[in-house]
Copies of this chain bind each other. A is one copy, B any other.
């Protein structure tokens, strides 16, 4: 049903009332953004089901374990990923503003932080280039293996322009792990050629895929290579795990980088040129049947802005009922 955004925010803050108020606010910011932007698979669905994120119990305060003028390694001590990645993005922004680059590693946080777009957009709004990748539990194969090796290992990029930031994010897998779980729960078949069973045969059966592996996004060597790159950058580099390392403390890792364009060019010139690049892509000749060219992040921003203008957001009734919001 359509719910007033201000009302939904109050209810979300109620759900996270035992959290640090700043963290609770940033969690609500993210969840509202995801629902408003139509990124429903990365939104309030995280509050229901077997492991609702509001039930997480941190093991202490977030701890900076290593720090320089351009870097920080954060032990998140089981704090919620959605809150921690915003703290990490703010740290990256602050260091890049001051010293040109901020490179922030995070380990030991609670599950997925959702859409990379939200965080790299935050960095891009500060006039910086944002790069963000995650290592997640191993579920994706590659290189001629039939075992799960890498996580679905998403990566996102954000660039400042004269208008809204240009944002691109993607999983390095042919489908998200969450998508696989949903298909399994609903008893739906998978698309052909996205997953293999335990013996390495292509399967459309989600339960067989859960015992097998997801394929790289291009079903090939390059996709596996990019998955491996993310596995290292957001795994061993940030004191998180790799391949078969199991358990909450190791299975999730994050690397956020903010680059100040003024290290290499003038920031205003850079923004102008990024705006010009967007205009030129949009103005290029289109495939038959394409009315216009849709750039990454455009659809989500359009939906977000429409929700913002109306003051209302559409949320799944089942989720609202389970949370007793209605």
Contact = CB atoms under 8 A, between A and B. Distances in A.
A170 interface: yes
Contacts of A293: 143-145
A149 B284 contact: yes
Contact of A145 (B103, B244, B285): B285
Contact of A70 (B100, B237, B295): B100
A280 B166 CA distance: 37
Interface stretch (A16-24, A27-35, A50-58, A258-266): A258-266
A246 interface: no
Chain multiplicity (copies): 2
A244 B280 contact: yes
B147 A100 contact: no
A162 interface: no
Given A144-B290, A273-B242, A274-B236, A149 B103 contact: no
Contact of A264 (B105, B146, B149): B105
A236 B105 contact: no
A49 B315 CA distance: 62
A280 to B, nearest CB: 4
Contacts of A237: 129, 261, 264-265, 270
Given A144-B286, A145-B287, A225-B170, A265 B243 contact: no
Given A73-B265, A146-B284, 4 more contacts: A146-B287, A168-B228, A236-B270, A236-B277
Leading 9 A-B pairs by shortest Cβ distance = A236-B273, A218-B218, A147-B284, A71-B263, A144-B290, A105-B264, A145-B284, A243-B280, A168-B225
Interface of A: 66, 68, 70-71, 73, 99-101, 103, 105, 129, 143-147, 149, 157, 159, 166, 168, 170, 200, 217-218, 220-223, 225-226, 228-229, 231-233, 235-239, 242-244, 259, 261, 263-265, 269-270, 273-274, 276-277, 280-281, 284-288, 290, 293-296
